[in-house]
Structures are given as structure tokens and as C-alpha cells.
Amino acid sequence: MLIGLKEALDFGQAHNCGIAAINTPTFEMLVATIKVAERYDIPMILQHAEVHEPVNSIENIGPAMLELAKRSTAPLVVHVDHGESYEFVKRGFEVGFNSAMFDGSRLPFAENLKITRDVVALANEYGYGVEAELGVMPGREDGEDSDAGVGDAALYTDPELATEFVAATGITALACSFGTVHGLYKAEPKIDYELISVLRRRTGVPIVMHGGSGLSAKEYRECIVRGVQKINYYTYADKAALEGAKQYLADHPETYVFAPVSVAVGRSVEQNLEELVRTLYEGQLSR
């Protein structure tokens, strides 16, 4: 079933857990994600990032995301992730996505604020929630520049600017930079937990963790306690998919069809996400 972004975030706050937001640019990843959500009957967020357009366009994968979400017994949000323009967010809404993130984090503050306000105004016409980003994290969702897999404190979110930004835009949630990175970590993550607390207190909105792959259970839980409600996750699920395909091909070197490889990919992603969910919903799962 479809639920809104705010409804999912409210669930996270009420149950002291993080809501997993999974990028699903391929059908195998999409089906695996929904299976895990249904297994535990928990809210999850299905995402398509603009950077994944070369894999599948939002007009192609989006209708599948929506149809499977509507059919599902689990409460699911269908979310535009890292929309880098007003136009891309609009495309997502036209497909039927019911939530969006505009990422203007690399723009000058005033320009980021202006476009974010425009996106919020558009979302308000539909009654949808909006996530936006302030502060810059190294790396990209597709892992293309993941060599910079360490945080940079000089790019962390400024609480003063964040307070102004949220008040001026009316966003539902704020993606912040506090030590995580997109892609693979090249060094031990150094998360500024106190900054998360300050940002949550000053802005009054849930904090979103991007670059959520690769953290320990203890790090996830501490971030949640400090005010992180939405946790974006992709790289390590994608890595699991590749490892599943490699393992199948190693075990079946004479195979000449793809379908069994696709099944192996889905199972590997499912196992990876199940471990994540058990961490984010610690003490809240009944199965």
C-alpha cells in the first residue's frame, strides 16, 4: 500500500527506528526490497535517483515501483531520490511518485533555497512531502567517484544555515552531511553525532542520512537516537547483487541463460537488506 513520506517518518519517530530508503534501479532490487518489507510488515521507501537514469529511466522503472507498492501488504513510499532539478522532480510526480528529494546541495545557498521552495510548492499541489539537502557529501549514488570515500568536515551541514533553510522552505525532512559518504568507505567513518542532535533540535524536522551503506549496527543506532529518521541505502545492496551474480557464475560456469543469475541477484539483495532492517528496527520486529 502507498503511504506518504511524513507518515513513514512519523512511524520511525514513534517506534525509535530508522526508515530504510532503498534505491531500486533494477527490477530484481525492487522485488527483493518489497519482499523484505512484507516479511516484517514495516514501512520502507522505494527510491529512484536521477543518477540512475542510464540504468532505467524513471518513466520505465517508476510504473513498476508504483504498481508493486500499491499491491503490497507493506506500507511503502515511492520517492524521487536526488532529483537535481525541478524538472526531474516534476517528471517523477507525473509518473505517480508520491514523495521527492531535491538535491541542490552543490548550488549556492540562495539558489538551493529558491529551487527547493519551488519544489515544495509543486509537492503541496499533490499533498506530498519533500526532502532537501544542505551540506555536501563526497561520492555519488552510482559509485562513479567513490574514491573520495571519506567524510570532509569542511562540507558538513551548518546548523545556522539549516535552521534558516528549513524555516524558509517548509520541507518535510532535511538530508545533512555529518560524516557519511556515498559509495564505498575508504577509511573508518567518523560521524559527528553531536551535529546530528543539534541539527534535529534546531530545524525541528527529521534528519536524513545519505551514504547509509557500510556502517556498523552501533553507528546506525546512535544516529537514530540522535534524530536520523530516514536512512538511504544503495551501494552495499548493489555490491551484494554483483557478488550474488559472480557466485552463481562461479558455481555454474557452463550456464548460458540469465534468468537463474537474476534469481541469485535478488536473493543476495534480499539477504543484505534483511540484515539492515534488523538493525534499523532493533527491538521492534515481531518476526
Q: What is the pLDDT of residues 32-70, one digit of tens each?
A: 999 999 999 999 999 999 999 999 999 999 999 999 999
Q: Please state the rounded mean pLDDT for residues 7-35.
A: 97
Picking from 52-56, 113-117, 151-155, which range would have the lowest pLDDT averaged per residue? 151-155
Q: Which residues contact 10 (CB under 8 A, 6 or more apart)?
A: none
What pLDDT score does 234 carry? 96
User: Which of the two residues, 163 and 185, has the higher pLDDT score?
Assistant: 163
**Confidence class for position 139, pLDDT limits 50, 70, 90:** low
Global pTM value: 0.93
User: What is the structure's pLDDT at 85?
Assistant: 97
Say which DSSP state 18 is in: P
Q: Tell me 56's DSSP state.
A: S
Is the torsion defined by CA of 21, 5, 286, 224 positive or negative? positive
Domains and CATH numbers, the chain: 5-280 (3.20.20.70)
- Is 81 one of the catalytic residues? yes
**For residue 141, pLDDT beyond 70:** no
Above 80 in pLDDT, residue 283?
A: no
CA distances from residue 187 to 193, 209, 220, 234, 252 in whole angstroms, order as listed = 18, 18, 17, 18, 35
Catalytic residue among 10, 41, 81, 238: 81
| 25: confidence class by pLDDT, cuts 50, 70, 90 | very high
The confidence band for 146, taking pLDDT boundaries of 50, 70 and 90, is: very low
Instruction: Check pLDDT > 70 for residue 103.
Output: yes
What's the pLDDT score for residue 138?
67
The HSE-up count of residue 155 (CA atoms within 13 Å, CB side) is 17
Mean pLDDT (whole number) for 202-226: 93
Q: Are 140 and 51 in contact (CB under 8 A)?
A: yes
pLDDT > 70 fraction of the chain, expressed in percent and rounded = 91
pLDDT (0 to 100) of residue 88: 98
- Per DSSP, 83 falls in state E
